[in-house]
Every structure is written in structure tokens, then in C-alpha cells.
């Protein structure tokens, strides 16, 4: 893989950035190589003798310099042997053999370009991919063990991998729900959704509600229970394990429900 990719592995490239930083150089190199091929060919009425060998050698030298720069910037090591062969032939035989090597170099650049791949994101998905804390800093701080899966869930959603998104959310929920169970005194939260909701609902019902402060606290925990129910509905499954596949719309629904639930719980633990 080229330095063009390794330098920012997993990062996003705008189309403008790709064109400004690399496209211009690649197109310039290709154009100069094309001109050098023409200049290094046999003499024709359109390539008159008075242009001289010096001009032909100069065009090849410029093409070599640009190709060398392109090879270094992109780390396309396969270009260097062909460039080296060209350099040794300048001034020796600037005719057909140089022309063949120039054409071979152009073909090799084309081959290298065909091995570079980029994934396109719509502008709306860029924040999902770029955000290190897609559920907010408070969720990241309160549930650090879930942070990686939450970030990967957002990236999977941006990359059009909805089922992978939901599986990462499942792993994150295991951490968050366990923390919820510890907070309200519910043991063994690795159960079916219905049982988990029933146990947590029962724990909330047992909370004192005599004073206004106690009522307010109980209401906040009741909201957590409601948000957890919404997660369960988005999951559309009776157990904590998601179904086999999800559409993007379904994954978005699960993502939104888990985000609201996690953010609300983060304000209480």
C-alpha cells in the first residue's frame, strides 16, 4: 500500500484534497510522459529534425524528474527500476528503445493507480465517521469500556455496514446495562429483554418517593427504564442478541435509541 494511504490510514480524504495534492501531479506526469513518448519517436514531418536531439533528451529528462517525484510521494517502488533504465539510456539511444520504456512507465503508473481504492461517504455520514465520541463526552467518560464499540458502531453505520453497527452497539450495551444493574441493585443482567426490563422496573418501583427530591430521583430512573424499553423495541428481539441482519434504517433506529439511553444514564451514574 502506498504512502498516500499509509500516511493517513483510516482517515477521510476529500475529493478536493485528493485532486490538489495528487491528481495534479499524476496528470502532469502523464502529460509530460505522453509528450516525451512523442518526442522520442521516429522522425516525422510533425517532429522535424531541427528540433534536435537535445530537445528530445530534455523532454525525457523532465518526464523522468516528474515520474521520480511521483514515485517518491506515492511510494510506488515499482516505478523506480523503469525510471532507472530510462536515465541510463538518455543520450545513448533516444529513439525506439527509450520510447518503449516511456510507454512502459506510463502503463506502470496506470497499473499503480488501479490498485488504489477509496470508499466514498456522503456528507451526512462524515460526522459519524469522524466523531471520536459519537454519544458525547459524558457517555465516553462514564462508560470508557464501551467507548471503542460506540465509535466503531458509528463508523460502521457511516460505511454502510448496518449489521456490524448493531453488533458493536450490542457489545456497548452489555457494558452500559451492567453498570445500570449495579446502580439499581439488579443482578445478572445477561437475560432476555423482558426479564431485564421487569427487574429494573421493579427496582425503580422500590425507590423511595416521599420527599420531592426522592420523587425527582425516582422519575429520572423511571426515564432510564423507558429509554431502555425503546432500545428493546428498536432491537425487535426478545433477547439481548440482535437478529442476523439489519438494514441501514433499522441500524439507525437502534443507534439513536442506544445513544439516548446511554446519555440519560450517564447523567445519573
pLDDT one-digit tens code per residue, 9-37: 567 878 887 777 778 778 888 888 888 87
Confidence of residue 104 (pLDDT cuts 50, 70, 90): confident
Residue 239's φ and ψ, nearest 5 degrees, are: -115, 175
Look-up of cell digits 432476555: 192
Q: Would you give the DSSP letter of residue 125?
A: G
The answer to whether the beta carbons of residues 184 and 225 sit under 8 Å apart is no
In this structure, what DSSP letter does residue 238 have? Answer: S
Q: Give bridge partners of residue 44 from the DSSP assignment.
A: 47
Question: Hey, which bits of the chain come out as E strands?
Answer: none
Q: Of 62, 75, 73, 83, which Cα lies nearest the Cα of 24?
A: 73
Identify the pLDDT of residue 219.
92
49 confidence band (pLDDT: 50, 70, 90): low
Domain ranges for the chain, please list them: 3-114, 123-266
Confidence label for 266 from pLDDT (cuts 50, 70 and 90): very high
Residue identified by cell 465520541 is 133
Number of neighbouring beta carbons within 10 Å of residue 150? 29
CA 160 to chain centre: 11
Q: Encode pLDDT of 208-247 as tens digits.
A: 888 988 889 899 999 999 999 999 998 876 656 666 789 9
Q: What percent of the chain has pLDDT over 90?
A: 33
Phi, psi dihedral angles at 142 (to 5 degrees): -80, -30
Q: State yes or no: pLDDT of 46 exceeds 60.
A: no
Burial 39-71 (b: 16+ CB within 10 A, else e): bbbeeeeeeeeeeeeeebbebbeebbebbbebb
Whether 157 has a pLDDT exceeding 90, the answer reads yes
Cell numbers found for residue 100:
518503449
Whole-model pTM: value is 0.75
Highest mean pLDDT among 13-27, 35-49, 150-164: 150-164
Q: What number is the average pLDDT over the span 48-69?
A: 74
Residue 174 has pLDDT above 60, yes or no: yes
CATH of 123-266, one of 1.20.120, 2.60.40, 1.20.1420, 1.10.3470: 1.20.120
Asked if residue 177 has pLDDT above 70, the reply is: yes
Q: Cα–Cα distances in Å, from 85 out to 76, 101, 112, 113?
A: 16, 8, 19, 21
Q: Checking phi first, is residue 2 left (phi over 0); if not, alpha (psi -120 to 50) or beta?
A: beta
Query: In terms of C-beta density within 10 A (0-12 exposed, 13-18 middle, 19 or more buried), how is residue 245 classed?
Result: exposed
Whether 256 has a pLDDT exceeding 90, the answer reads yes
Amino acid at each position: 500500500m502506498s504512502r498516500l494511504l499509509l500516511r493517513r490510514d483510516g482517515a477521510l480524504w476529500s475529493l478536493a484534497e485528493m485532486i490538489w495534492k495528487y491528481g495534479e501531479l499524476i496528470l502532469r506526469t502523464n502529460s509530460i510522459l505522453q509528450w516525451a513518448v512523442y518526442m522520442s519517436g521516429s522522425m516525422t514531418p510533425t517532429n522535424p529534425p531541427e528540433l534536435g536531439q537535445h530537445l528530445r533528451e530534455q523532454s525525457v529528462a523532465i518526464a523522468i524528474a516528474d515520474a521520480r517525484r511521483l514515485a517518491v510521494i506515492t511510494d510506488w517502488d515499482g516505478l523506480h527500476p523503469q525510471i532507472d533504465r530510462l536515465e541510463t539510456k538518455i543520450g545513448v539511444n533516444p529513439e525506439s528503445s527509450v520510447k518503449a520504456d516511456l510507454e512502459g512507465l506510463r502503463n506502470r503508473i496506470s497499473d499503480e493507480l488501479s490498485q488504489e481504492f477509496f470508499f466514498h461517504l456522503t456528507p451526512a455520514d462524515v460526522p459519524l465517521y469522524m466523531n471520536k465520541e459519537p454519544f458525547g463526552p459524558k457517555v465516553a467518560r462514564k462508560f470508557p469500556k464501551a467507548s471503542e464499540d460506540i465509535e466503531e458502531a458509528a463508523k460502521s453505520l457511516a460505511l454502510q455496514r448496518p449489521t456490524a453497527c448493531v453488533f458493536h452497539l450490542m457489545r456497548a450495551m452489555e457494558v452500559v446495562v451492567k453498570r445500570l444493574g449495579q446502580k439499581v441493585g439488579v443482578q445478572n443482567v445477561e437475560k432476555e429483554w423482558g426479564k431485564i426490563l421487569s427487574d429494573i422496573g421493579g427496582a425503580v418501583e422500590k425507590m423511595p418517593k416521599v420527599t420531592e427530591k426522592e420523587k425527582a430521583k425516582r422519575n429520572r430512573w423511571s426515564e432510564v427504564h423507558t429509554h431502555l424499553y425503546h432500545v428493546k423495541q428498536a432491537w425487535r428481539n426478545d433477547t439481548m442478541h440482535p437478529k442476523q441482519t439489519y438494514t441501514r434504517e433499522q441500524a439507525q433506529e437502534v443507534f439513536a435509541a442506544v445513544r439516548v439511553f446511554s446519555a440519560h444514564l450517564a447523567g445519573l451514574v
